[in-house]
Amino acid sequence: MTYIAKPKFQHPGLKKNDLGYTHRDYEGKVSTLCAGCGHDSITASIIEACYELSIEPHRVAKISGIGCSSKTPDYFLGNSHGFNSVHGRMPSVLTGANLANRDLIYLGVSGDGDSASIGFGQFAHSIRRGVNMTYIVENNGVYGLTKGQFSATADRGSKSKKGVTNTDNAIDLVAIALQLGATFVARSFSGDKTQLVPLIAAAIRHKGASFIDVISPCIAFNNHAGSTKSFDYVREHNDAVNRLDVLVGRDPIAVDYAPGTVQVVEQHDGSKLALRKLDADYDPHDRLGAQTFLARHAAKGQIVTGLLYVDPDAEDLHEHLNTVETPLNTLEADTLCPGSAALDKFNASLR
Nearer to another protein, 129 or 229 (CB): 129
Give me the least distance between CB of 101 and another protein, in Å please: 5
Report the alpha-carbon distance of residue 37 to residue 144 in Å, rounded: 10
CB-based contact 181:290 (threshold 8 Å): no
**CA 211 to centroid of chain Cα atoms:** 5
Give me the least distance between CB of 231 and another protein, in Å please: 29
Decide if residue 20 touches another protein (CB under 8 A): no
Which one, of 266, 264, 295, 287, lies nearest residue 277 by Cα? Answer: 264
Q: Which residue in 23, 34, 54, 86 binds another protein (CB under 8 A)? A: 86
Decide if residue 278 touches another protein (CB under 8 A): no
Decide if residue 176 touches another protein (CB under 8 A): no
Q: Which stretch, 138-146, 169-177, 276-284, 317-325, contacts another protein (CB under 8 A)?
A: 317-325
DSSP 6: P
Report the alpha-carbon distance of residue 254 to residue 48 in Å, rounded: 21
Which one, of 139, 161, 137, lies nearest residue 149 by Cα? Answer: 161
Decide if residue 146 touches another protein (CB under 8 A): no
Q: Which residue in 46, 97, 127, 196 binds another protein (CB under 8 A)? A: 97
Q: Which residue in 10, 14, 16, 58 binds another protein (CB under 8 A)? A: 58
DSSP track, 106-174 = EEEEEEHIIIIITTHHHHHHHHHHT-SEEEEEEE-SEETTTTSEE-TTSPTT-B-TTSPBP-SPPP-HH
Give me the least distance between CB of 61 and another protein, in Å please: 5
DSSP 266: E
| Position 280, amino acid | A
Q: Which stretch, 34-42, 54-62, 136-144, 259-267, contacts another protein (CB under 8 A)?
A: 54-62
Decide if residue 265 touches another protein (CB under 8 A): no
| CA dihedral (291, 297, 299, 301) positive or negative | negative
Q: Which residue in 6, 18, 103, 264 binds another protein (CB under 8 A)? A: 103
Decide if residue 226 touches another protein (CB under 8 A): no
Task: List interacting residues with another protein (CB under 8 A).
Answer: 1-2, 56-59, 61, 63, 73-74, 78-86, 89, 91-101, 103-104, 121-122, 124-125, 129, 317-318, 321-325, 328-333, 335-340, 342-344, 346-347, 350-351
